[in-house]
Amino acid sequence: MRIAEPTVERLVLYYRLLMQLHNEERRVVSSQEIGELLGLKASQVRKDLSYFGEIGKRGVGYHVDRLYQHISGILSPNRLWKIALVGVGRLGEALLGHKALRSDKFRIEALFDSDSNKAGTVICGVPCYNSDDMTEVIKEKGIEVLILTVPANAAQTSVDKAVAAGTLRGILTFATSAISVPDDVLVYRVDISVELEKLLFFLKSGLK
């Protein structure tokens, strides 16, 4: 069955929360409580979890460790993804050091930057290559996912070089520009100004 994107998004939130509850030695938690902690309706929580089988106990709730393992199994890939980060500017470097990019699900195997002073160096333990060599390095290393932190005007060029390697399957882009990719490459976007604009819009229009 196809799982909806909003559900996957919340699964990650459940996963984090359960990790925390586990650390607090909590044994059991109800959909009601999960909902309160994450700002969701209890029925939403139950519906999400029900897509993956009956995991709770009626009259009791969800066993924290069991649910944690369960969601972990749903979210985990069957292998280690190989990732490259393109654009080692301030944002790129900040992300490299950021908790979000530490995971046992993937490894950052290469950095790319158009600044030839950066090429050849090792940053946060990851070798940096010149952007000109992107196609070959990505192909050679079998990189499947790109994290794009280049300026908007460099985004499409970078993507084209990466796609040319033939190994690419997904892109997480922080660039504001629209990028075009083959149908079989999945793109997710993190757009800081869009989020800020939305916040200000709804603040202006007298609240949510």
Partner DNA sequence: TTTTGTGAAGTTTTTCACAGCG
Partner DNA sequence: CGCTGTGAAAAACTTCACAAAA
Segment 68 to 127, residues that bind a second copy, using CB under 8 A: 75, 77-78, 81, 89-91, 93-95, 97-101, 103, 105-106
- Tally: H helices and E strands in the chain: 8, 9
Q: Is 187 helix (H, G, I), strand (E, B) or coil?
A: strand
Candidate residues 38, 44, 139, 190; the one interacting with DNA per rule CB under 7 A: 44
The footprint of a second copy on this chain (CB under 8 A) covers a number of residues equal to 60
Q: Is 47 helix (H, G, I), strand (E, B) or coil?
A: helix
Please say whether the beta carbons of 132 and 162 come within 8 A: no
Residue (88 or 134) nearer to a second copy, CB: 88
Element (H, E) at 54: none
Asked if 33 interacts with a second copy (CB under 8 A), we say no
Please say whether the beta carbons of 145 and 83 come within 8 A: yes
Residue span binding DNA (CB under 7 A) among the ranges 52-60, 96-104, 111-119, 131-139: 52-60
| Residue 188 near which of DNA, a second copy, none (CB within 5-8 Å, type-dependent) | a second copy
Please say whether the beta carbons of 43 and 10 come within 8 A: no
Please say whether the beta carbons of 75 and 52 come within 8 A: no
Asked if 183 interacts with DNA (CB under 7 A), we say no
| Residue 59 near which of a second copy, DNA, none (CB within 5-8 Å, type-dependent) | DNA
What's the burial of 99, exposed, middle or buried (CB within 10 Å: 0-12/13-18/19+)?
Answer: exposed
Segment 126 to 165, residues that bind a second copy, using CB under 8 A: 144-145, 147, 151
Alpha carbon distance 87, 148 (integer Å): 7
Q: Smallest Cα–Cα separation from 62: which of 48, 46, 75, 38?
A: 46
The residues that touch DNA, with contacts defined as CB under 7 A, are 4-7, 30-32, 40-44, 46-47, 49-50, 54-62
Site for a second copy, rule CB under 8 A: 3, 5, 8-9, 12-13, 16-17, 37-39, 75, 77-78, 81, 89-91, 93-95, 97-101, 103, 105-106, 144-145, 147, 151, 169-172, 176, 178, 184, 186, 188-190, 192-205, 207-208
